[in-house]
Each structure stands twice: as structure tokens, then as C-alpha cells.
Amino acid sequence: MGEILDLFGEAVPANWGERGRPQHIASQQNRNRVSMLVALGWSNVRIAAALFVTLPTLRKHYFSEMKFRDVARDRLNATMATKLWDLFMSGNVAAGKEFRDFVEKNDLMLYGQREQPVKPEKAAKLGKKEAAEAAARQPDRGNRLGDLMARRQHPVN
């Protein structure tokens, strides 16, 4: 007979329904989940909360996944690249586009560049009254009235 699963597909501990709290069973699905969350940079407290376990239980059952924290992101990226490449080679055009974007992001990371260039800030838009006032402060010297206004604003002594 195989193991008994609950509604969510998790294994039911052998002492379920007896005295004391049932022991946590580390499933392969939870191991994969912990590896992914470690790769995404989640803290141990956050991972334990997501699995509904305590920190000691997390360290006890998932210590092997936790010890690869330094290389977990690289392993996740390598797995993603491999999956995208396999999909592309099987004829999936969308996977080819995603793989190209993935490679570009990876190249930017290698060369220490930003993912997107920083856009310069736009100047604040002036309303009609402000624009008219700014235009009045700089009269057109190409005609007599503008020349007269310019001389009155900035008289030459």
C-alpha cells in the first residue's frame, strides 16, 4: 500500500489523529519549493511561513536546500535557460524570443550595466499663464515693440 495523501496532495503522517503534533514530512514538492524560494532571495522566516512550519522544522528538514543559498539563483537561471532552449529547439517561437531576452539580460548583468537606461526627467509643463509670462520676460528684438520692451527690462547705463 502507498502513502496516504490529504486534499492538497501532501503526505499524511503516520501518527495523524494520535496524541502530540504530527511530524512534518518533507516531500519532493516542498523541497523544490524551498529551493526556488531560496533562489528568489526569500528569508528563512518567510520560507517557513509559506510552508506553515517553524524555523527549526525548516532547518531540520530542508538544510540541504538552504546550504546552497549562494548558488541557488545561478542554478535557477541555468534551469530556466535550459528549459527555454529545449522549448525553442522543439519549435516554440515564443520560447526563442524569451531565450533571446534572457540572454540579453544575462549579458547586461555580466558587463555590469543597468537593465534599462535611465530616462532624463522631463521639465515641468507650464500652464498657459506661466508660458505667457515667460514669453513676456523675453521679448522678440526683431521688431520695434519687442526691442523697446527689452530695453525697458534691461536698461543699459
Question: Does position 83 have pLDDT exceeding 90, yes or no?
Answer: yes
Indicate the pTM of the whole model: 0.52
Counting DSSP H helices and E strands in the chain, the numbers are: 8, 0
Distance between alpha carbon 94 and the CA centroid of its chain, in Å?
Answer: 21
Choose the weakest-confidence range: 16-20, 56-60, 129-133: 16-20
Close Cβ partners of 140 (under 8 Å, ≥ 6 residues apart): 146
In this prediction, residues 19-32 reach a mean pLDDT of: 80
pLDDT digits (tens, 9 = 90+) for 111-131: 765 556 667 777 778 888 888
Phi, psi values for residue 140, rounded to 5°:
-80, 120
- What's at 58, amino acid-wise? L
**The dihedral sign for the CA sequence 26, 28, 34, 35:** positive
Close Cβ partners of 153 (under 8 Å, ≥ 6 residues apart): 137, 139
Would you say 127 and 134 are in contact if contact means Cβ atoms under 8 Å apart? no
Question: Does position 86 have pLDDT exceeding 90, yes or no?
Answer: yes
pLDDT digits (tens, 9 = 90+) for 134-149: 877 787 888 888 888 8
Strand, helix or coil at 11?
strand
Percent of the chain with pLDDT over 70: 87
Q: How far apart are CA 69 and CA 84, in angstroms?
A: 23
Q: In the structure grid, which three cell numbers stand for residue 23, read together?
A: 511530524
